[in-house]
Homo-oligomer: A and B are copies of this chain.
């Protein structure tokens, strides 16, 4: 099946030059927003949010409004035809007929790719379960570019639940495409960065550090990227009690950091950064959230104008008998989808959710 539109499903579908181009466009928009305020006049963006995410949805809505466009959509599947049993394909097919661009969020991994397969307009992935969230990653890159002036030669620490945090995985992969970045992973043993990310870095000849507290790592960092650790992620109640403060950033720990180190967080936070840190001029997470509007403006505009560039959705082939082993994969609920996989030796990789399956 051939991609007809400029979708943004997965950052890895594009070379980093394309990301740079989006970041530059976002910066241009920031410089003179007025010259972009009518660019999408008469255009309609539909936001299909199969799980609520106010922040992301409002960021996209703000972006479209600032381009002069309009918005339709839903924020809750309970209020949608989904609750009458309609499949994803039909909803996407119909709503994409109403609109010029579709923004999709779903708890199902690979859902946005289904959007790209069937929509009659470009699709932007606003998060598909624990899988991808490319506009967050581009927001992070834009913020680094603005605050540090570069995307290479950065010492970046990631702290929190590094095992389950898709935001972290995606940003590490993205930054590994730029030269001379150094990674430090700060977490409990149980919540360490996954082996496949470590292997990925090693395969590119990139070394990384592992730390078990913020204190031991913070001094040397240019950037500290904080994420949540949920209480239930610790191995035991005892570990939680003894460890939790180790992964909370407070004013005391900020004293150890360089005066130019910046703190990022994808938000929402719970208590992993204390409120007092907000008043530190190095706290950049609110600016980061705000930057998200501009990168989304760049993406919406580029997608509608056809400037993203169309790439094929599938590169492998159909294996009708093989069922993806990831229970959150969109193919389980949307049973009409072709079972497409890429083959690599004994391994099949699902082309929706990237789950790897060992063939017998």
State the main secondary structure of chain A at its contact with B. helix
What residues of B have a CB within 8 angstroms of the CB of A61 in the complex?
72
- Given A267-B94, A286-B93, A286-B97, the answer on whether A58 and B86 have CB atoms closer than 8 Å is no
- Given A42-B37, A72-B58, the answer on whether A268 and B81 have CB atoms closer than 8 Å is yes
The one of B58, B290, B293 that contacts A46, using a Cβ cutoff of 8 Å: B58
- Given A97-B290, A98-B59, the answer on whether A268 and B46 have CB atoms closer than 8 Å is no
What residues of B have a CB within 8 angstroms of the CB of A98 in the complex?
58-59, 62, 290, 293
Within residues 79 to 113 of chain A, which ones have a CB less than 8 A from any CB in chain B?
Answer: 79-81, 83-87, 89-90, 93-95, 97-99
Q: Complex: how many Å from CA A290 to CA B93?
A: 10
Return the chain B residue nearest A42 by Cβ: B37
Return the chain B residue nearest A335 by Cβ: B275
Return the chain B residue nearest A89 by Cβ: B275
Q: Complex: how many Å from CA A35 to CA B261?
A: 50
The answer to the question of A270 belonging to the interface, with a C-beta cut-off of 8 Å to chain B, is yes
Minimal beta-carbon separation of A32 from chain B (angstroms):
13
**Chain A 120-132, CB within 8 Å of chain B: the 1/0 string?**
0000000000000
Minimal beta-carbon separation of A103 from chain B (angstroms):
14
Cβ A86 vs Cβ B269 within 8 A:
yes
Minimal beta-carbon separation of A281 from chain B (angstroms):
15
**Chain A 48-71, CB within 8 Å of chain B: the 1/0 string?**
000011110011011001100010
The one of B66, B76, B269, B275 that contacts A79, using a Cβ cutoff of 8 Å: B76
In this complex, which of A81, A99, A268, A278 has the most chain B Cβ atoms within 10 angstroms of its Cβ? Answer: A268
Copies in the complex: 3
What residues of B have a CB within 8 angstroms of the CB of A70 in the complex?
65
The answer to the question of A289 belonging to the interface, with a C-beta cut-off of 8 Å to chain B, is yes
- Given A54-B79, A55-B81, A290-B98, the answer on whether A90 and B44 have CB atoms closer than 8 Å is no
Minimal beta-carbon separation of A98 from chain B (angstroms):
4
Cβ B270 vs Cβ A85 within 8 A:
yes
Minimal beta-carbon separation of A198 from chain B (angstroms):
29
Q: Complex: how many Å from CA A278 to CA B90?
A: 10
Q: Complex: how many Å from CA A81 to CA B270?
A: 11
What residues of B have a CB within 8 angstroms of the CB of A65 in the complex?
44, 70, 72
Minimal beta-carbon separation of A194 from chain B (angstroms):
23
Tell me the A residues contacting B by CB distance below 8 Å: 37, 42, 44, 46, 52-55, 58-59, 61-62, 65-66, 70, 72-76, 78-81, 83-87, 89-90, 93-95, 97-99, 267-270, 275, 278, 286, 289-290, 293, 336
Q: Would you mind naming 24 contact pairs between A and B with Cβ atoms under 8 Å apart?
A: A42-B66, A44-B65, A44-B66, A52-B79, A52-B83, A54-B81, A55-B81, A58-B72, A58-B73, A59-B98, A61-B72, A65-B70, A74-B75, A84-B268, A85-B268, A86-B267, A86-B269, A86-B270, A89-B278, A90-B268, A90-B269, A97-B286, A97-B293, A98-B290
